[in-house]
Amino acid sequence: MRDVQHFRAYADLVPDVVARFGGRFLARASKVTPIAGNVVPDRVVITEYPSADDAVAYYVSEAYAPLLKLRLATANTRLVVLARSGPLPDFARKVAENYLRSRRGASR
């Protein structure tokens, strides 16, 4: 966390956007207990969506875009999307890849 005070605005607004895409919070913890490995984040949030497509749609949506900007400005974050089993479905993977390509182009 680089700016906890401003991150709170993100934390207050993001639940409504998550819900719009069928998501729900499974865990939100600021106390992380490492058992193995070197990665120990300050905070972990786990959300569940009906499908990987819904999870990716949430992240690349216009509804989430201003919140993502706030999140990236206030915290060092990581995001992973997991399918319930096996690889990420083709549609979700393609949407995510296209989004990442568009972001790389925008940052040049």
We report the CATH number of the domain holding residue 96 as 3.30.70.100
Q: Where are the beta strands (DSSP E) in the chain?
A: 24-29, 44-48
Give the number of domains in the chain: 1
Distance of alpha carbon 32 from alpha carbon 22, whole angstroms: 26
Question: Strand, coil or helix: what is 23?
Answer: coil
Q: Give the global pTM.
A: 0.83
Structural domain of 51:
4-106
For residue 48, what pLDDT band results from cuts at 50, 70 and 90? Answer: very high
Nearest residue to 57 via CA among 98, 105, 4, 10:
98
pLDDT value of residue 51: 93
Distance of alpha carbon 83 from alpha carbon 104, whole angstroms: 25
In the predicted structure, residue 108 carries a pLDDT above the cut 70: no
Average of per-residue pLDDT values in the chain: 90
Instruction: Answer whether 61's CB lies under 8 Å from 16's CB.
Output: no
Question: Strand, coil or helix: what is 70?
Answer: helix
